[in-house]
């Protein structure tokens, strides 16, 4: 299998506060994260709100600079790229957001929205070429070319997300980072978007990183799963059948599973105390919530290791 993306010891530290009444505080939104993504795979990233999923996504695409660590994409050191080659590389890796229109001018027509990525890259096109390209991209995501002259507010949530995907596909990417692309859609529309993404992956040989709160959806859609807790990857499930080895993953699975799909959309806050990311305990960050915690867990931080099974960061894996 060819490695498309390789992330090594990636960290992002945010500093806040300062001034007379607000002491400077710092926290690691992403902490020493390492993983690889092989070409053609769908890698899920799950974890509760605030665990660092979107920060990880932005670091991978170099939309923000890491505090430390490396990202290699298509065998190139991403962090060593000067602005111009970086811009060209960015075409190969695109992001789809939960709300595709948060970043788009509502006065743009759909045609202009889907051809905007070409303008950003400085690709010149005649009006006729742009019409043709926009019709092509809309058809790829299952929208008729009549939508070209519509405005965002005239589209449904699912249609808007299709436009978001069309924009992401415009420059022929190899990797799409999908940050909760279906979280704001209802279940039937969510299913349509997932099947569109499956179809596009096959047709265009795409690789996906799929961020979601919905572990059941991730289990359906992804080939492998990274579980994050307070900035760290605590378990890397190599396939969707693998049983959880980390008590946190186990708890997540128990909390999100419900036979009724309408009731298992999000990870509910779990019981127990979540440590402040600004003041993490010395040992395992999950210890205060973990039924299996021992004294060792409270003093020694477990590192991601794969003794006796797939990678897990736990002193007493299941
Ligand atoms: N620009 C920033 N400055 C300071 N702190 C930040 C910044 N961006 C994110 N954070 C913090 O980093 C942590 C991780 O945030 P992030 O948005 O990556 O989480 P997430 O897993 O995507 O959450 P959600 O599921 O709610 O989208 C949070 O504690 C957040 O408050
Ligand atoms: S290291 Fe200890 S506290 Fe942390 S998840 Fe494993 S058993 Fe629980
Ligand atoms: Mg997020």
Residue 227 pLDDT: 96
Pocket test for ligand 1, best of 10, 30, 53 (most atoms within 8 A of CB): 53
Protein residue whose Cα sits closest to atom 26 of ligand 1: 49
For position 281, what pLDDT does the model report? 86
| Any atom of ligand 2 within 6 Å of the Cβ of 284 | yes
- State residue 21's pLDDT score: 81
Q: 32-57: per-residue pLDDT in tens?
A: 999 999 999 999 999 989 999 999 99
The reported pTM is: 0.93
Is residue 293 in contact with ligand 2, taking CB distance under 6 Å? yes
Residue nearest to atom 18 of ligand 1 (CA): 52
pLDDT in tens, 231-255: 999 999 999 999 999 999 998 877 6
Predicted pLDDT at 16: 86
Token pair for residue 63? 């939309």
Kindly report the backbone phi and psi dihedral angles of residue 167, in degrees, each rounded to the nearest multiple of 5, phi listed first. Answer: -60, -40
Q: Would you kindly state where each structural domain of the chain is located, as residue ranges?
A: 106-172
| Ligand 2 touching residue 283 (CB < 6 A) | no
**pLDDT tens column, 254-304:** 765 555 555 544 555 556 678 888 888 899 999 999 989 999 999 999 999
Ligand 2 centre distance from Cα of residue 246 (Å): 8
Residue 8 has pLDDT above 80, yes or no: yes
Q: How far away, in angstroms, is 53 Cα from ligand 1 center?
A: 8
The tokens describing 34, both together, are 């390492």
Nearest CA to 32 out of 292, 299, 280, 315 is that of 280
| Cα-to-centroid distance, 179 and ligand 3 (Å) | 7
| pLDDT at res. 101 | 66
């Amino acid at each position: 299998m060819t490695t498309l993306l390789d992330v090594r010891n990636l960290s992002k530290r945010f500093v806040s506060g300062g001034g007379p009444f607000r002491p400077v505080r710092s926290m690691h939104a992403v902490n020493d994260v390492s993983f690889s993504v092989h070409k053609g795979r769908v890698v899920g990233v799950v974890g509760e709100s605030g665990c660092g999923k979107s920060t990880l996504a932005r670091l991978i695409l170099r939309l923000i600079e890491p505090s430390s660590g490396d990202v290699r994409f298509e065998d190139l050191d991403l962090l060593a790229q000067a602005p111009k080659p970086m811009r060209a590389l960015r075409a190969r890796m695109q992001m789809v957001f939960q709300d595709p229109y948060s970043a788009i001018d509502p006065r743009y027509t759909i045609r202009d929205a889907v051809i905007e990525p070409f303008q950003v890259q400085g690709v010149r096109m005649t009006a006729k070429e742009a019409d043709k390209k926009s019709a092509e991209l809309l058809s790829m995501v299952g929208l008729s070319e009549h939508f070209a002259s519509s405005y965002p507010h005239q589209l449904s949530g699912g249609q808007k997300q299709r436009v978001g995907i069309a924009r992401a596909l415009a420059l022929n990417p190899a990797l799409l980072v999908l940050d909760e692309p279906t979280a704001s859609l209802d279940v039937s529309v969510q299913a349509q978007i997932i099947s569109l993404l499956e179809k596009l992956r096959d047709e265009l040989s795409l690789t996906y990183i799929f961020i979601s709160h919905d572990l059941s959806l991730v289990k359906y859609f992804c080939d492998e799963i990274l579980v994050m807790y307070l900035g760290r990857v605590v378990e890397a499930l190599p396939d969707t059948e693998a049983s959880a080895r980390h008590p946190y993953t186990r708890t997540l699975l128990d909390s999100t599973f419900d036979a009724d799909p309408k009731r298992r959309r999000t990870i509910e806050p779990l019981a127990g105390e979540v440590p402040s990311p600004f003041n993490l305990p010395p040992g395992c960050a999950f210890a205060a919530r973990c039924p299996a915690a021992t004294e060792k867990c409270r003093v020694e931080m477990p590192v991601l290791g794969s003794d006796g099974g797939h990678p897990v960061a736990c002193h007493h894996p299941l």
